[in-house]
Chain A
Amino acid sequence: MTSDKLFGLSMILYLITFLFYLIYLVSRNKSVAGKLGYVATGFAWFSLCVHTIAFILRWVESYRLGIGRIPLTNMYESMVFFAWSIMAIYLILEYRYGFRAVGVAASLLSALGLGIISLFKLPQQIEPLVPALQSNWLTAHVITCFLGYAAFAIGFGVSALFFLKKLIHKAGFENDFLPPERLLDELNYKTIAIGFPMLTIGIFTGAVWADYAWGTYWSWDPKETWSLITWFVYALFLHFRLTRGWRGTKSALLSIIGFFFVIFTYWGVNYLLSGLHSYA
């Protein structure tokens, strides 16, 4: 059993989780819905466990190859961790606040994350690290950045559900199966309240690492600049919300726009622009 196959299995499990959450959301019968909710949550935790085991297995595989490093350094590995973080952060939010409403979005996004790996056939061989990447700051920087990205992804999912709800109402249907607008709006804000500090720490640890490696904590390379731009966008979100009372539609829209900036920072920079940062 290779880690590769386990990641594939995790993707399928996330898709099944998505179905459970969807059925939970749509069912009118309250008592059935309640039970389904527990099933969905349980299955989500199970999928996350399998995903975690796959991650650890890849770490072990690297030792067998004589390299020995945590799997966080190329596109394949970062996508795996990204998908993992989305589910992990969602489940923590679900546990703390008891809302299963957004499970559909989180499980679908995690499944998509793993799916993209196979779709684009990302190279999966474990390569040894070049000297510049051999640092503990790598682990800190990559983990915090991706936890931030994952939180923003969930915010994106929540905002997408918000607009879906508006669409359903516009189409003339009174009853939709989605949670109230106010709740979606609060959840959107909550995810950014997690994502923004994480991204800040991510940028900061990146700067400290750059200082250790090259003596320059900031060199305006495309990756650094775009992560700062993403930071500006979410800072704007917070200022619009806190000082101008932006809620609802405007808030959701900004959250979606912000996530596009996240994706450009993550992939756009690597494949369209280039620089010192072209590792993952």
Chain B
Amino acid sequence: MKRRISAIIDIFWSVKLTITLLIILAIVSIIGTLLPLFPSQIAKYPLYSSWWFITLLFLLSINITVCSWKKLPPIRASALPYRKPFARSFIENLEHSLTFRFNGSRDGVIKMISTAFKLHRYPIVPLDPPAAATADTKLFITERGNLSRYSFYLTHISIVLILLGSLLGSLFGFKGYLQLAVGETKQKLFQQKTLTELSLPFAVRCDDFQLIYYQGTNKIKDYLCQLVVLEDGKAVKKKQIEVNNPLSYQGIRFYQSSYGQQPFNPHTGSLKLEISDPSGKELIQEIQARMDTPYTIGSENQKMTVELVNFVPDFVRDEEGQVHSRSQSMNNPAVQLKIQEDGELIDQFWIFAKFPDINMGKKKSPLHFEITFPAGNYYTGLQVVKDPGIPLVYLGGIILCIGLFMIFFWSHRRYYIIVEQQDSAGISVVIGAKTNKNRMALRNEFELITQIIQKEGSADDE
């Protein structure tokens, strides 16, 4: 049994598996992006949430975890302070190594070298020389960046954290859509994935909705909704939400996702009709008008009436001049007015909520007409999300980014030093350096330190 378990663990303990899994994941993901090019039955297949895709991610997590566990002993060993004695020949064979010859006292030379290294934050430590060495040989070692050996864990465990976080989110979170008209309160939302309704532990109400345009254009700059959270009918939280700025309550977040305007109901609704002088600047009369109802303009004596006889939510004229509605959305709401004097029809024309300057087809009537549909007709589209895995995902992401910088730019460097008193020939110094990555940076540092030592050592000679 133990052998079987250890055999299974051995499969997971391999970078070959990692490479295989990454390649499979890449190919499968590519296929996923190409699905929409196929007929809708294939196109709708939820590849990224399928059991086998999730299994692949799961296998990757186990692979990373097992590799991390197995690498702990060798990584720990490589990060331990180096205390093994070494021979002169060892240093001379290193990629970076230099030999010096100085005069003066051995202790003086050692002190000089120690200072040079301290300048670069390397405290040198004496080592016991190898058995074969003479009594006049002194060994020193210094290193920095031992902990950088552990950067592997930051980059790899973070991935497991991210995958764990996404698992938590899909198991214990939800995502849904909620539509609120201004003044409306709701407690249920609609989940697109499962096509079911979900009840929230509290209710939300939209108190106000605003659309902001870029000055002088009809391009939307922003849209905001005044959202209120209600518990047992009492308002517990209020926030004006906009795109990129959600409301959060009890771990559930409400995002301003879309908006719309409920079509004006010509049977029950009323709108504001403003009548002004021909220049359109001086307001003469304001009527809250309903459809198909004549209203008197001016004084009773004048006997002039205006009536709203037609409404379309999305005005468009075809080649024959016939009026149609392009859609059911209030994209270009328009109303047709009928002006009568003494019971006689004198004018019939269209006016537009979004283009107040246009009175289309007006011939005789000197007055200017404008309409405004009630603001209460707007509704806000909210995306409602609960995702308890997010803190883990963010944590994993941050650790991954930090870990990557450490992996590439923090290295473990070690300097080996031998100082040997050679009687009349003076003092021989050999310095060698080693690193696990970023060789160019080590070369620069090695040159700097040895230049100081060469300068100081030769100066002492005088």
B153: Cβ under 8 A from any A Cβ: no
If A212-B246, A214-B257 touch, whether A228 touches B219 (CB-CB below 8 Å) is no
The smallest C-beta distance from A186 to any residue of chain B, in angstroms, reads: 8
Contact partners of B166 in chain A: CB under 8 A: 218
If A196-B404, A197-B408, A236-B19 touch, whether A134 touches B243 (CB-CB below 8 Å) is yes
Contact partners of B387 in chain A: CB under 8 A: 215, 217
Q: Check A200–B26 contact: CB distance below 8 A.
A: no
Contact partners of B36 in chain A: CB under 8 A: 273-274
Interface size class of B (residues with CB under 8 A): 35 or more
Chain B, residue nearest A215 (CB): B385
Determine, out of A10-18, A21-29, A73-81, A239-247, the stretch whose residues face the partner at the interface.
A239-247
Interface size class of A (residues with CB under 8 A): 35 or more
Q: Mark B391-430, 1 if CB is under 8 A from A, else 0.
A: 0011001101100110010000000000000000000000
Determine, out of A39-47, A164-172, A173-181, A203-211, the stretch whose residues face the partner at the interface.
A203-211
Among B32, B216, B242, B393, contact of A131 (Cβ-Cβ < 8 Å) = B242
A120: Cβ under 8 A from any B Cβ: no
Among A97, A193, A197, A244, contact of B401 (Cβ-Cβ < 8 Å) = A197
Determine, out of B199-207, B220-228, B345-353, the stretch whose residues face the partner at the interface.
B220-228
Contact partners of B26 in chain A: CB under 8 A: 229, 232-233, 236
Number of A-B contacts (CB under 8 A): 108
Contact partners of B82 in chain A: CB under 8 A: none
Majority secondary structure of chain A interface residues (helix, strand, loop or mixed): helix
If A197-B401, A273-B33, A273-B36 touch, whether A213 touches B23 (CB-CB below 8 Å) is no
Q: Check B30–A229 contact: CB distance below 8 A.
A: yes
Q: Check B404–A197 contact: CB distance below 8 A.
A: yes
Q: Check A204–B401 contact: CB distance below 8 A.
A: yes
CA gap between A128 and B221 in the complex, in Å: 8
Interface residues of B in 234-256 (CB under 8 A from A): 242-246, 253, 255-256
Provide a sorted-by-A list of 24 A–B residue pairs whose CB atoms are within 8 angstroms.
Answer: A66-B215, A67-B214, A97-B440, A128-B217, A131-B220, A131-B244, A132-B243, A135-B244, A197-B405, A200-B404, A207-B393, A207-B397, A213-B244, A214-B383, A215-B387, A217-B387, A225-B30, A232-B23, A233-B26, A236-B26, A239-B19, A243-B15, A273-B33, A273-B37
* Additional A-B contact list (5), CB under 8 Å, known A132-B243, A233-B26: A67-B214, A131-B242, A225-B32, A232-B23, A273-B37
